Amino acid sequence: MAITLVTLLDAGEYITALPKKEHAAADWQAAMEARILVAEGGGSTLFARIGIMRALNAGKPAPPFRATAEAGEGLSAGAVKNATRKSSWWTST
């Protein structure tokens, strides 16, 4: 069942409705704090969204890295090669 969180109020109600053990987890507490800061401070809702997404995906493996974007709008082959090559400051001597 997919749930749609549209407003900061929706997000807050979703978080408070979680089981107590899950609601008390650090990820959800950080998401709630970010939501409150955005609501009270009038900042960008992107911060609250990031907090919610991190909490929703906690414990799940990260998606694989894709070096190029869709429709050919991405890094050139040379840029990908350079980005994946270890620089001298990455390696220890």
Count the domains in the chain.
1
Asked if residue 16 is part of any domain, the answer here is yes
44, two tokens: 């960008």
Asked if residue 19 is part of any domain, the answer here is yes
Question: Which residue range is the domain that position 28 belongs to?
Answer: 8-56
pLDDT by 10s per residue, the chain, length 93:
677 888 888 888 888 898 998 888 999 999 999 888 888 888 788 888 899 889 988 888 877 876 655 555 555 555 555 554 444 444 444
Name the amino acid, one letter, at 53: M
Enumerate the H helices of 1-93 as residue ranges: 8-16, 20-23, 26-41, 45-56, 77-84
Span 51-76, pLDDT tens digits: 988 998 888 887 787 665 555 555 55
Asked if residue 30 is part of any domain, the answer here is yes
